[in-house]
Chains A and B, each alone.
Chain A
Amino acid sequence: MAGQGGGLTLIPDAGRKRRYGFALTPLADAMFQLLIFFMLSSTLSPYSLIALTGGAPAGQSAQEGPADMQAEAPVEAARSVTWQLSRGQIRAGQQVMPLEDLRGVLPVLREERIEEVLIFPTRSARVQDIATVLELLGSQGITKVRLIGGSRVEGG
């Protein structure tokens, strides 16, 4: 204390209010712990979602039987196209095109008022191919897409 230290003081400190400081160090420690937890346990990656089924009947896109048998006898539904999806490419009839070129074809589908696309993924098709096709079709407003699994076509 000022009065006990031997120093000469004319003003006694008895009347001074003692200031109590708020210790922020524990708060900072706790904050750092929280920060480290969230940094380690979370990811900042941006995600997107693609609906594969509508949720009503399971396998909305599913059809009975091997896909290639159905592909040989397609039903001539109005305003629909049938594609075979292989790794990195699409086959429509005899025409084969890489997925990179699909974006240029989609406006033609819209002009022809194609409402539905049947897709038969072959054995070589990967999840990335499905995501690419569904994204492109969705961006063109073609939301009625049927993915038909069980293909025995090698393809690609």
Chain B
Amino acid sequence: MHKARLLPPAPRRQPDFSLAIVNIVLLLVFFFLITGSLVQQGETEVDLAETSALPLERLPRPLLLIDAAGAMALDGQGVRAEGLAAALGPDRPEALYLLADAGLPADRLLALTTRPDLAGISLRLVTLHMRPAPDGDAPDGGGS
């Protein structure tokens, strides 16, 4: 039968997972902040040359994208070789990082190193770090 109660039953509290969700998502945000590199549109579309013995780096800036056809974009903005020095601005960076397609003819890449208007700027090729083969073989060169 119905029993009389002096106190109403305490409302059962639903467990609140919000704090746990926030914690996990915050950890994920930190993970992407620390391990990821922000990229512009198109910068992940080139097939980079692969290396395995070099130390890991984050994707640096300023970044000159050179696709397989030789078209260039500096930090997402299309640029021609003649206008590259002007696009870098008056505060010339110490280094310019080249995100060149692995299939780009080497001559096109080396042509940049001989440009007098890029004097004083260190040109560095960005490669994709691949895990070395178990037997220690180097990645195949050029896919010939």
A87 within 8 A of B: yes
Number of interface residues of B (CB under 8 A): 75
| Residues of A close to B95: CB separation below 8 A | 55
Nearest-neighbor residue (CB-CB) of A25 within chain B: B18
Nearest-neighbor residue (CB-CB) of B117 within chain A: A58
CA distance A67 to B43 in the complex (A): 32
Convert A57-98 into 0s and 1s, putting 1 for each residue whose CB lies closer than 8 angstroms to a CB of B: 111111000000000000000000000010111000000001
Is the Cβ of B107 less than 8 Å from the Cβ of A123?
yes
| Residues of A close to B16: CB separation below 8 A | 24
| Residues of B close to A126: CB separation below 8 A | 102-106, 142
User: Which of B21, B56, B127 has most chain A Cβ within 10 Å?
Assistant: B127
Task: List A residues 114-151 near B (Cβ within 8 Å).
Answer: 121, 123, 125-136, 138-139, 147-151
Is the Cβ of B113 less than 8 Å from the Cβ of A59?
yes
Is the Cβ of B100 less than 8 Å from the Cβ of A127?
yes
Is the Cβ of A127 less than 8 Å from the Cβ of B101?
yes
Partner of A35, one of B28, B101, B111, B144: B28
Partner of A99, one of B59, B106, B140: B140
B69 within 8 A of A: no
CA distance A32 to B140 in the complex (A): 41
CA distance A130 to B102 in the complex (A): 9
B1 within 8 A of A: no
Size bracket of the A interface: 35 or more
CA distance A136 to B55 in the complex (A): 13
User: Which of A7, A85, A127 has most chain B Cβ within 10 Å?
Assistant: A127
A46 within 8 A of B: yes
User: How distant is B12 from chain A, measured CB to nearest CB, in Å?
Assistant: 16
Partner of B50, one of A7, A59, A100, A128: A128
Is the Cβ of B54 less than 8 Å from the Cβ of A49?
yes
Is the Cβ of B97 less than 8 Å from the Cβ of A49?
yes
Is the Cβ of A88 less than 8 Å from the Cβ of B109?
no
Nearest-neighbor residue (CB-CB) of A130 within chain B: B106
User: Which of A8, A129, A135, A139 has most chain B Cβ within 10 Å?
Assistant: A135
Is the Cβ of A135 less than 8 Å from the Cβ of B144?
no
User: How distant is B8 from chain A, measured CB to nearest CB, in Å?
Assistant: 5
Convert B105-139 into 0s and 1s, putting 1 for each residue whose CB lies closer than 8 angstroms to a CB of A: 11101110111111111111111110000000111
5 interchain pairs, CB-CB under 8 A? A45-B128, A47-B58, A48-B55, A52-B123, A126-B106
Interface residues, chain B, with chain A CB atoms under 8 Å away:
4, 6-8, 16, 18-19, 21-22, 25-26, 28-29, 32-33, 35-39, 43-44, 48-60, 94-95, 97-98, 100-107, 109-111, 113-129, 137-144
Known contacts A42-B38, A57-B120, A131-B51; 13 additional CB pairs below 8 A are A27-B18, A27-B22, A39-B32, A47-B128, A52-B124, A55-B120, A103-B137, A126-B102, A135-B51, A136-B138, A147-B113, A148-B110, A149-B113
